[in-house]
Structure 1
Amino acid sequence: MRCPTVGTPPEYTIDDNEVPWILGTQLTTQCGPLARSSDSSRVLLIEAHDFARRMPYHSQKLTLVFAAMRQFRDRLQADGYDVTYIQAETFKAGLSTFFEENPDTRLVTMRSPSYGSERRLRDIADDAGGEVRFVENELFVSTRAAFDGWAGDDEQFKHESFYRWMRRESGVLIDDGEPLGGEWNYDDENREFPPDSWEAPPVPTHDYDDSTTETAEWVSSTFDTWGSNELFNWPVTRAQALDQLEHFLTHRLPEFGPYQDAMRSEEWAMSHALLSGAVNIGLLHPMEVIAGVEDAYHNRPAVDLPSAEGCIRQLLGWREFMRHVYRHSMPELATANQLDATQALPELYWTGETAMNCLAETIDAVHSHGYSHHIQRLMVLANFATLWGVEPDQLNEWFHATYVDAYHWVTTPNVIEMGQYGHGVFATKPYVSSANYIDGMSDYCADCQYDPSVDTGETACPFNALYWDFLDRNESKLRSNHRMGLMYSHVDTKREAGELDDLGEQVDTFRVRAENNNL
């Protein structure tokens, strides 16, 4: 049985009148109530369809969730479990059906990390005439109590100190209490751009059975989705997820480190693991991915320390940090908007119709695969939205709908706080940049009609004028930030030269173009 490594794992048993209820993001026998039950125990899964109608989710996201649930059902049945699988429009309808047939049964399920879910499910169960017992969610590396003890009374959290604590507590890449190699992270070595001769490792593929194929067709015909389902290629079974992990360790991890921040045209996956979707629905436990990466560093000569540490930092550090920050800052975080951004999300995020090559390429990857990597998310999509002045919850909703690995608990701190500096619970400055960053970390600018070195005029890259306009209009909130001093010294120079007015007019031109779908 897999349990959180940092903190004290929960101890409990499943009584004779209790049935494990497995949610669609908890598809595992490794932990939780199912790991504490007999191999022939009763199990409940409810495939509720109403959530899929709440927004235009990516067709691949819905296919992944529903196909994985159905595959998990079939696997449990083949292993001898007594599975009740209810397809219903709502959880309330599904629970009503279950409790009508099982009036003396209590359900046991792991807490969902999404805010308010425990209260909502408890209320729904009460309305359906039944009862649910909620237990610790063990699909993370650390417990809630462990983080709360580490954080103490702090109201602002720092990822780097959290990450170092997690390394020490878990023992991952640690030797006698100190980091292997002498450094806690190798972020500076993760920012190279590959030479023209470099070829991205092949993306793993999977053979799907009729059930998954039929599920994909059903999703496309049943729901008002966004994105294409033609290139669906995500693991929907435990076996496929393990194959994808091994493929990453063998073919992709050796080149992950140096190029993990790089963006290249028509290379939607680069050397990234492509495991987040499987981890976030329970097909893989984050600790088994971390252990696999650590073992690869020790036993596979092709895997160097910057590659291993860079991957482990995302799972052991960032993913865990996001989960706990979300817990501590909700519900305020969901609507946080400390820069008072009021612009609507540009339509181009849904259509991909823009002459800005970086945005067009990234949105096309999301449309085709339900995925882009973390730098595309932060420094292209969120960067542009922040400079544009998009209301944070609108961008958060877009991410939530369009990515296969997106759930409210992980998009909200990533998008609203890290991406748009909406709250201040951990971000110490806005992560914004002009075209210079994108030009340095990608080849997008080479084939773009906009010039990354030009601020105003017909060929000016929108990122440049938007960057200076953002600093200008948020000056009263940001100038006192000690991390923004250098940026505002440049603002002063441009103001003294009379350039800010021209930049503001250029931004107005871009806004008119966007309204006419001509940006």
Structure 2
Amino acid sequence: MQQPIVGDPPEYSLRDTDVPWVLGTQLTTRSGPIARAPEGSPVLMIEAHDFAARKPYHHHKLTLVFAAMRHFRDRLRDAGYEVIYITAESFADGLATFFDDYPEARLVAMRSPSYGSERRFRELIEAADGDVRFVDNELFVSTRQAFDEWANADPDDETPTFKHEPMYRWLRRETGMLMNGDQPVGGEWNYDDENREFPDETWTAPPTPSAAPDEQTVETAAWVDATFETWGNTAVDTFPWPVTRKQACEALTQFIDERLGEFGRYQDAMRADDWAMAHSLLGSSINLGLLHPVEVIDAITDAYESRDLPLNAVEGCIRQILGWREFMRHVYRHAMPALAEANQLDATASLPAFYWDGDTEMECLSQTISEVHDRGYSHHIQRLMVLANFATLWGVEPSELNDWFHATYVDAYHWVTTPNVIEMGQYGHGVFATKPYVSSANYIDKMSDYCSDCKYYKTKTTGENACPFNALYWDFLDRNEAQLRSNHRMGLMYSHVDDKQETDEMAAIRERVAELRTKAVDGRL
């Protein structure tokens, strides 16, 4: 059985009338009620379709979710389970059908991380005259109770604040991952300073996963295309995402064998001709339950101990899973529902149309959006320092950008995107971000090759073909001065703002920003 290793995992058994209910993001037999069910027992899966019509989801995202569910259904049946697989317009319809056929049954399900889902499911099951028991979600490294006790978190606190680094160190100590007694292996807790290089032209990225989609995945992709209004590439010949446990394990092995050693130093770099660099590409598999985060961390640490792998690469990868993923889960629990609508900078602009069509001459945005369109993916720095950075500088209303990320990325779910986009990406709430993560063209030029092929000049702030990031950066600081000047981390930047306000430069910047907004409306940005 695979369970959290920090905190006390749940202990329970199933009674004779209990039926495990496996949600579409819990596709494992090693955790939850199904791991406790006797061989050959009934298992419920509901393939509900109405959610897929609510947003213009990426075609690959819907293909991934539905194909993974259908493959898991077949795997369970092959293993002898009595799978009750209900295809329905909605969960309400699916649950009504189930309890009509099995009125004496009680469903047992792991809680979904998404806010309000348990309450909504209880309401639907009550309306169907059914019964349900929800149990703790075991698809994380730490339990809710363990985190809350460590953080001394008050569930009634409406404005909680948390910090990632102390939590990450606590989890390292609790798990023993990359630890030498009570101290980190190598003497440092993280190696960010070694992970911010840009590769020269001689560096070749390791190969990406290339398993050809099987017949069921191809059929699912065609059905998604015919059934829903989707966004993004509909071709599946380059579809790289695992839809089975076997494929996910193979992807993990390939990452460790061929990519992990190259991951660290270039993890923040962005290249126009390289959509994956050396990233793991495992996020969708972990978030679907095909891989457990503990087994991924174990595999990485085992490889470090048995092979000559760079510590900065291994620690950087573990920090994303053991640290950041766990942190996002717990922050989301405590900051919802306010987090979803948070907007502490009072941003009201609409998301520019080019986020959907990629029609912009800003090379960094055009390239990144093209990659998301092709595969439903770009790596974390593209998400933060290109897509969210521009939206924050532009003043996009945070929930609108969150909706876009939720719809377009294959690994995105509400509990994942909401703290990442609204808080980390747009400084919308204050639950953990200590400053806005924004930059001018300088950062993008340092960490990418986008600027060399762009029509905009990275060194110009105003005037013809000046990079929009530059004027927008100073305009952002200027218009948010009342909220941000007192932030001790922004002192240096506001000394530069003062200089620009005392001259005509800020007026020219405001004029340039007004021009950029007109260009965006006309589709000429």
Q: Under a length normalisation based on structure 1, what TM-score does the superposition of the two structures give? A: 0.99
Aligned to 1:258: 265
Aligned to 2:307: 300
Name structure 2 gaps, 5 residues minimum.
Answer: 155-159
Any runs of at least 4 consecutive aligned residues in structure 1 with deviations exceeding 2 A, and if so which?
none
**In 1, distance between residues paired with 2:218 and 2:332?**
35
**In 2, distance between residues paired with 1:14 and 1:504?**
65
SS of aligned partner of 2:265: helix
CA positional deviation for 1:458: 1.3
Q: Which one of the candidate residues 198, 222, 226 is aligned to 2:227? A: 222
Aligned to 2:141: 141
The answer as to 2:236 corresponding to 1:236 is no
**In 2, distance between residues paired with 1:396 and 1:203?**
28
CA positional deviation for 1:39: 2.2
CA positional deviation for 1:229: 2.4
Alignment-mate amino acid for residue 339 of structure 1 = L
The answer as to 2:196 corresponding to 1:191 is yes
Q: Deviations over 1:180-216 (max 9, x none)?
A: 0000000111100001111111111113321111001
**In 1, distance between residues paired with 2:486 and 2:511?**
26
Q: Under a length normalisation based on structure 2, what TM-score does the superposition of the two structures give? A: 0.98
SS of aligned partner of 1:323: helix
Aligned to 1:269: 276
1:90-169 mapped onto 2 (5 Å cutoff): 90-153=90-153, 155-169=160-174
**In 2, distance between residues paired with 1:131 and 1:370?**
37
**In 2, distance between residues paired with 1:460 and 1:333?**
35
1:408-427 mapped onto 2 (5 Å cutoff): 408-427=414-433
SS of aligned partner of 2:312: helix
Identity, in percent, stands at 67
**In 2, distance between residues paired with 1:128 and 1:373?**
42
**In 1, distance between residues paired with 2:461 and 2:56?**
36
The answer as to 2:382 corresponding to 1:376 is yes
Q: Deviations over 1:6-43 (max 9, x none)?
A: 10000000111000000000000111001111121110
CA positional deviation for 1:496: 1.7
**In 2, distance between residues paired with 1:168 and 1:501?**
52
1:286-325 mapped onto 2 (5 Å cutoff): 286-301=293-308, 303-325=309-331
SS of aligned partner of 1:181: helix
Q: Deviations over 1:386-415 (max 9, x none)?
A: 000000000000000000000000100000
**In 1, distance between residues paired with 2:180 and 2:16?**
45
SS of aligned partner of 1:211: helix
The answer as to 2:221 corresponding to 1:207 is no
Aligned to 2:77: 77
The answer as to 2:343 corresponding to 1:343 is no
Aligned to 1:428: 434
Q: Which one of the candidate residues 366, 369, 391 is aligned to 1:385? A: 391
CA positional deviation for 1:151: 1.1
Aligned to 1:476: 482
Q: Deviations over 1:46-69 (max 9, x none)?
A: 000000000000000000000000
Q: Deviations over 1:264-298 (max 9, x none)?
A: 01211010000000100100001111111111111
**In 2, distance between residues paired with 1:497 and 1:187?**
38
CA positional deviation for 1:459: 1.7
Alignment-mate amino acid for residue 351 of structure 1 = D
Q: Which moved more, 1:151-160 or 1:2-11?
A: 151-160
**In 1, distance between residues paired with 2:519 and 2:304?**
50
**In 2, distance between residues paired with 1:437 and 1:444?**
11
Q: Which one of the candidate residues 438, 448, 451 is aligned to 2:444? A: 438
Alignment-mate amino acid for residue 13 of structure 2 = T
**In 1, distance between residues paired with 2:202 and 2:136?**
48
Alignment-mate amino acid for residue 293 of structure 1 = I
Alignment-mate amino acid for residue 245 of structure 1 = L
Aligned to 2:500: 494
**In 1, distance between residues paired with 2:464 and 2:108?**
61
Q: Deviations over 1:487-514 (max 9, x none)?
A: 1011011112221000000000000000
SS of aligned partner of 1:19: strand
Q: Which one of the candidate residues 452, 460, 464 is aligned to 2:458? A: 452
**In 1, distance between residues paired with 2:39 and 2:191?**
44
Length, aligned pairs only: 518
CA positional deviation for 1:153: 4.1
1:56-67 mapped onto 2 (5 Å cutoff): 56-67=56-67
Alignment-mate amino acid for residue 315 of structure 2 = E
**In 2, distance between residues paired with 1:206 and 1:75?**
19
Q: Deviations over 1:60-100 (max 9, x none)?
A: 00000000000000000000111110100000111111100
The answer as to 2:54 corresponding to 1:37 is no
* C-alpha contact 2:107 2:133 (8 A) present in aligned 1: yes
SS of aligned partner of 1:457: coil
Aligned to 1:177: 182
Alignment-mate amino acid for residue 412 of structure 1 = T
**In 2, distance between residues paired with 1:99 and 1:11?**
26
* C-alpha contact 2:213 2:239 (8 A) present in aligned 1: no
SS of aligned partner of 2:264: helix
* C-alpha contact 2:391 2:401 (8 A) present in aligned 1: yes
**In 1, distance between residues paired with 2:380 and 2:499?**
33
Aligned to 1:17: 17
**In 2, distance between residues paired with 1:296 and 1:505?**
55
Q: Which one of the candidate residues 253, 256, 274 is aligned to 1:246? A: 253
* C-alpha contact 2:332 2:419 (8 A) present in aligned 1: yes
Alignment-mate amino acid for residue 123 of structure 1 = E
